[in-house]
Amino acid sequence: GQQVQQSPASLVLQEGENAELQCNFSTSLNSMQWFYQRPEGSLVSLFYNPSGTKQSGRLTSTTVIKERRSSLHISSSQITDSGTYLCAAGNYAQGLTFGLGTRVSVFP
Amino acid sequence: AQTIHQWPVAEIKAVGSPLSLGCTIKGKSSPNLYWYWQATGGTLQQLFYSITVGQVESVVQLNLSASRPKDDQFILSTEKLLLSHSGFYLCAWSLLGGRSYEQYFGPGTRLTVL
């Protein structure tokens, strides 16, 4: 089955720095999503991006299917960006396989 | 208005007691439905999925069962809870067909088994 690896496991940033979060998946997919997980557990959808590049504000997601990787770029990080970022990959009918996440901490 | 509703928001139950968690989707016809679970500090894991009423596929065995009694409803249950069932349960939906396989998640249910 699908395996998803996220790196780094954690990241410490000074406010204003950029960051790149990586997600590697083991088999081909037709679904790739990035989420922010709130401390209480619920998910905030950031991107649905099975291929190519998408941008939303300071966030950019790039997925390269043939290299089996996806990335989330955070530019000009802010304290409010702190938290856990999850990527998930899979086949739509069978659901998503999630990575363990990257915990981001942004300090002033 | 929220498309996906989960109930209850949180539950504290005793080991060995029964459990029923629910998920309702509003305004979507024949969605694919999914249950996911996350133990504290663990990875979100898919438990079940359903592409039509009455049909449920199991992905991970956790001594839980799921049913889809109506097109817009997905139920997760067990007759006897284990300590290991504690965690956060998320329901999700996606649409059949189309070009997007995006999944949309509910707010979740926090389960504590004592």
Count Cβ–Cβ pairs < 8 Å, chain A vs chain B. 62
Contact B110 A40 (CB under 8 A): yes
Residue B97: pLDDT band by 50, 70, 90 thresholds? low
Residue-level pLDDT at A69: 95
pLDDT band for position A32 (cuts 50, 70, 90): very high
pLDDT digits (tens, 9 = 90+) for B1-54: 668 999 999 999 999 999 999 999 999 888 999 999 999 989 999 999 999 999
Give the model's confidence band at A6: pLDDT under 50 very low, under 70 low, under 90 confident, else very high. very high
Partner-chain residue, chosen from B90, B101, B108, that has the shortest CB–CB distance to A31: B101
Regarding beta strands B55-58 and A4-7, do their DSSP bridges make them parallel or antiparallel, or are they unpaired? unpaired
Q: How buried is residue A75: exposed, middle or buried, by Cβ count under 10 Å (0-12/13-18/19+)?
A: middle
Chain B interface test: which of A31, A92, A97, A103 (most B C-beta within 10 Å)? A92
DSSP string covering B56-96, please? EEESS-SS-EEEEEETTEEEEEESS--GGG-EEEEEEEEES
Please give the average per-residue pLDDT across A82-95, as a whole number: 88
Which chain B residues in 27-46 lie under 8 Å from chain A, judged by CB atoms? 32, 34, 36, 38, 43-46
Amino acid B29: pLDDT: 85
Contact residues on chain B for A101, CB-CB shorter than 8 A: 43
pLDDT value of position A55: 98
| pLDDT value of position A26 | 87
Any idea what DSSP says for residue B97? S
**Mean pLDDT calculated for residue range A26-51:** 92
**How does residue B79 score in pLDDT terms, banded at 50, 70 and 90?**
very high
